[in-house]
Structures are given as C-alpha cells and as structure tokens.
C-alpha cells in the first residue's frame, strides 16, 4: 500500500505565474535547484542535481495552468517509481497548490525527511512567485 505525502498551500500570484515557475527550466533554477537540465514537456526528462544526488524525472502529465506530473526514473535515493503531482487552481484570489508524492510504503525517516524538504522547496516556490526571491538549492539565497 502506497502512503501519499501531501502538501496544500496558497501563493499570492496568478496561476499562470505559478505554472511557469513549475515548468520553465530557468525559473525552476530560481526556487528548486540551480542545477537542472532537460525539457519540461510531455514524455521528456528533467535532470535535477542536489550536490552529489542526481534525480531524473519524466514528465507524465502536463495540463496548462492546472496540473504537472512527474515520475522518478533514476536516482541514488529509494524514489525510483515515485510519482509527483502538482495541481493548481484559483482560490480566493490566490493560487492553491496541491502537491502529492506517491510511492512511500511507510511513514519512516525518509518520508519525514522528504516531507520537510518539500515544505522548504514549496516555501521557496512561494517566495519566488510572490517576491522574486531566489532560494534554490545551490543559490546564494539557499537556506541550508
């Protein structure tokens, strides 16, 4: 049985800005990690690097201004096969973001670590979309 990891939060910016931040490789370098290559389009691979950790995902869903889906294809961490879905909608003048990661079998230390890490990167996404702050992994604004 897979246990989903979920986050729900709001960004005070239009959905188009949030969607672009989640799909434009150059913008992702501002809030996620500054080492990214690939293409954020259907069935394409995106290569993320966090120090020595490589993380390669395939884009499996892409609905403009509504949904982005990834599947982990390769990493040194136990996440191969995990799927990640970002769902966007407008709520009370803000963009509501729902992130769900599927693939965990138990709520162990790795689950807890990823829950914290996603929270940090999602707050970085919010700060980028709302205030133009750059807090990506490897950037000078990164909160380690």
Q: Are 40 and 46 in contact (CB under 8 A)?
A: yes
3-state class (DSSP) for residue 84: strand
DSSP labels for 98-138?
A: EEEEEEESS--HHHHHHHHHHHHHHHHHHHHHHH-----BT
Whether the predicted model's global pTM rises above the 0.85 cut: yes
Question: Of the candidates 71, 38, 66, 36, which has an alpha carbon nearest to the alpha carbon of residue 54?
Answer: 36
User: pLDDT tens string for the chain (144 positions)?
Assistant: 789 999 999 999 999 999 999 999 999 999 999 999 999 999 999 999 999 999 999 999 999 999 999 999 999 999 999 999 999 999 999 999 999 999 999 999 999 999 999 999 999 999 999 999 999 999 888 877
Residue 37 has which token pair? 């290559």
Which residues pair with residue 102 across a beta bridge? 83
């Amino acid at each position: 049985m897979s246990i989903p990891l979920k986050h729900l939060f709001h960004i005070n910016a239009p959905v188009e800005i949030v969607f672009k931040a989640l799909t434009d490789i150059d913008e992702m370098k501002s809030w996620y990690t500054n080492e990214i290559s690939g293409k954020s389009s259907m069935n394409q691979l995106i290569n993320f690097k966090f120090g020595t950790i490589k993380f390669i995902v395939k884009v499996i869903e892409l609905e403009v201004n509504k949904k982005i889906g990834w599947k982990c294809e390769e990493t040194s961490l136990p996440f191969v096969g995990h799927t990640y879905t970002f769902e966007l909608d407008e709520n009370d003048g803000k963009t509501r973001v729902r992130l769900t990661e599927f693939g965990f079998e138990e709520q162990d230390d790795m689950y807890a670590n990823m829950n914290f890490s996603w929270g940090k990167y999602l707050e970085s996404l919010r700060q980028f979309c709302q205030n133009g702050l750059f807090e990506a992994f490897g950037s000078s604004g990164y909160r380690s």
